[in-house]
Amino acid sequence: MRIVIAEDNVVLAQGLSLLLEAEGHEVVATTGDGDSFVAAVGEHRPDVTIVDVRLPPSFRHEGIRAALRVRSEIPGQPVLVFSQYVEQSYARDLIRDGGGVGYLLKDRVARVDDFLRALHHIAEGGTIMDPEVLDQLMTRHDPVSTLTPREREVLELMAQGYANGEIARKLTVTERAILKHIGNIFTKLDLPAEETGHRRVLAVLAYLSR
């Protein structure tokens, strides 16, 4: 994959570049601010991008706003927000924009394999959400309070990009049970039960952002 990185921490940016290049990917540009990130994506049209939420000059939400600009100028451009912070309002806008997006918290990525799997999934048009990010987005809306603890577990795993069979194995239940939980989730959130893949997560987040 060809990748553009927006990260103002030089050590972390170089570390990500070395990691990705060791795995056979090409980092075509590394930038330290939002404007340079947007310009680099426009120039290189990478397969996927990685951007921090807080970039110069104010270190508030320049990174995720730049990600939204990229998605506006290049619809469908895959973007992984990789940060220590949850920026709720812009995160909701980013996810609602469609597939090929992800939001992972740096402190919660324990394995390189998990990070690379998420990056590939996003590049292919999927959606990945850290459970903590998803929880912060969901807890502000009443409909989610109707979900059982197990249904919330299933929804969080859906948001991380796991297929029904994988969710069943992780929760040590049958795939039929997972299908039932998913049906209950869509019913309680007033969403069509036939939604599949990353559209399931996007539909939930679009509903919750209303």
For residue 77, the tally of other CB atoms under 10 A from its CB is 21
DSSP for 170-195? Answer: HHTS-HHHHHHHHHHHHHHTT--TT-
Other CB atoms within 10 Å distance of the CB of residue 96 = 16
Q: Does residue 102 form part of some domain?
A: yes
Residues 102 and 145 in one domain: no
Q: Is 174 a domain residue?
A: yes
Q: Look at residue 188 in the predicted model and tell me its pLDDT.
A: 74
Domain co-membership, 31 together with 125: yes
pLDDT in tens, 75-95: 999 999 998 888 777 787 887
What pLDDT, on the 0 to 100 scale, is given for residue 166? 94
**Of 10, 32, 18, 1, whose CA–CA distance to 112 is shortest?**
18
Look up the CATH number of the domain holding residue 169. Answer: 1.10.10.10
Q: Measured between alpha carbons, how far is 4 from 64 in angstroms, rounded to an integer?
A: 14
- For residue 10, what pLDDT is reported? 92
Closest C-alpha to 33, from 50, 60, 67, 57: 57
- The identity of residue 28, as a single letter, is V
Give the tokens for residue 86.
């949850």
Whether residue 154 sits in one domain with residue 83: no
Please report the pLDDT score of residue 142 as a whole number. 56
Q: Where are the beta strands (DSSP E) in the chain?
A: 2-6, 26-31, 48-51, 79-83, 101-105, 127-129
Q: pTM of the full predicted structure?
A: 0.68
Q: Is residue 44 domain-shared with residue 116, that is, in the same domain?
A: yes
Of 77, 107, 129, the last residue of a domain is 129
Question: What is the span of the domain harbouring residue 177?
Answer: 141-208
- Is 72 found in the same domain as 12? yes
Q: Which residues of the chain have pLDDT under 70?
A: 138-145, 190-210
pLDDT at position 38, please? 96
Look at the chain and report how many structural domains it folds into: 2
Q: Would you state the pLDDT for residue 139?
A: 61
> Does residue 146 sit in the same domain as residue 59?
no
What's the confidence (pLDDT) of residue 210? Answer: 46
Same domain, 13 and 109: yes
Tell me the one-letter amino acid at 33: D
Which among 124, 113, 125, 51 is positioned nearest to 82, based on CA atoms?
51
The domain that holds 90 is classified in CATH as: 3.40.50.2300
